[in-house]
Copies of this chain bind each other. A is one copy, B any other.
Amino acid sequence: MNLFILKLGGSVLTDKDKEFSLRERLLRDLAGELSSLEEKFVLVHGGGSFGHPLASKYDISSGFREERQLVGFSKTREAMEKLNFRVVKALNDAGIPAISIQTSAFTVVEDGKIISMNIEILQKLLEIGIIPVLYGDSVVDIEKGMSILSGDQLLAEIAKKLDVSEVILGVDTDGVYTRDPKENEDAELIPKITPESWENIKNLIEFPTESDVTGGMKNKVEVLVNLAREGIESRVINATKGGNITKCRRRNKKVGTKISRE
């Protein structure tokens, strides 16, 4: 199956500085672009200003320690469902038969790591022509009670279990840079990363110091390099710029940062 996984970061879909602020026009444009591709894909999205502030406030990722976190757990889940509902609706409005898959019911997590998922459900949905939409979420953790499952972890697991041709990680910069491009004019785009080059450069890159409960760009690249080791190719692109996903799928080598085995 010529299937790809698209991750849309929270920084693409929402304004990170303003709680519950969805970038509606951008989302509508992305949905339109995806519908014109006429390809099957799995969409995973992040939490941005919907999930992150709450997850942080109630310290969900540290596990269950006190009563008040139960409210936080439920509030984080509700916020993520609200964002997910809007994403699915935008896809539906663009004519894509997408449905929501509740991450916290779909995967079993132990000590922050996925130990099982109902992958058959995704396979069958794609087979009959439905696009599944998942998201990073606060989840039940059978070891520590509760934790945060990032969209990046989720996409890595799905990529390994489904026969995907490519993973596209949509962020709000043009790819992976030598320094934070938002702060440094001399930051340079890295066009290609391999597992070997990653070992040499990962400690030289000055990654942005983000307040992100799920780890920021360095973690994301680490996830993708691990996929490259298993032969799954990926690309980090700017998803806030129209047409980039299409260029990716048309194998235009000039978009973003490519991460592959060789």
Do A99 and B74 form a contact, CB below 8 Å, given A105-B105, A105-B118, A118-B105? yes
Q: Are A130 and B97 in contact (CB under 8 A)?
A: no
Contacts of A81 in B (CB 8 A): 100
Are B99 and A71 neighbours in the complex by a CB distance under 8 Å?
A: no
| A77: Cβ under 8 A from any B Cβ | yes
Q: Are B70 and A129 in contact (CB under 8 A)?
A: yes
A146: B residues at CB distance < 8 A: 128
CB of B116 within 8 A of CB of A140, answer no
Binds B, one of A119-127, A201-209, A225-233: A119-127
Q: Which chain A residues numbered 93 to 107 have a C-beta less than 8 Å away from chain B?
A: 97-107
- Out of B71, B130, B140, which one reaches A124, CB within 8 Å? B140
Q: Bound state CA distance, A92 and B70, in angstroms?
A: 11
Q: How far is the CA of A107 from the CA of B67 in the complex (A)?
A: 29
Encoded as 1 (CB less than 8 Å from any B CB) or 0, chain A from 65 to 83 comes to 0010011011001000100
CB distance from A90 to the nearest CB of B (A): 14
Question: Is the beta-carbon distance between A105 and B101 smaller than 8 angstroms?
Answer: yes
Of the candidates B67, B74, B141, the one whose C-beta lies within 8 Å of that of A92 is B74
User: Is A4 in contact with chain B by the CB < 8 A criterion?
Assistant: no
**Known A-B contacts A70-B130, A130-B73; A121 and B92 likewise in contact (beta carbons under 8 Å):** no
Which among A73, A105, A106, A108 has the highest number of chain B CB atoms within 10 Å? A105
* Contacting pair A105 B121 (CB below 8 A): yes
Cβ-defined contact, A99 with B128, below 8 A? no
Interface residue? A195 (CB, 8 A) = no
Instruction: Tell me the complex Cα distance, A99–B73, Å.
Output: 9
Asked whether A130 lies within 8 Å of B74 as measured between CB atoms, the reply is yes
A62 to chain B, nearest CB (A): 14
What is the interface of chain A, defined by CB distance below 8 A to chain B?
64, 67, 70-71, 73-74, 77, 81, 92, 97-108, 116, 118, 120-121, 123-125, 127-130, 140-142, 145-146
Would you give 6 A-B contacts (Cβ < 8 Å), ordered by A? A70-B97, A70-B130, A100-B102, A120-B142, A124-B145, A128-B145
- Having A74-B130, A77-B100, A124-B141, one finds 16 other A-B pairs with CB under 8 Å, namely A67-B129, A70-B97, A71-B97, A73-B130, A74-B97, A74-B99, A100-B102, A101-B105, A105-B118, A106-B118, A108-B120, A108-B121, A118-B118, A124-B140, A128-B140, A128-B145
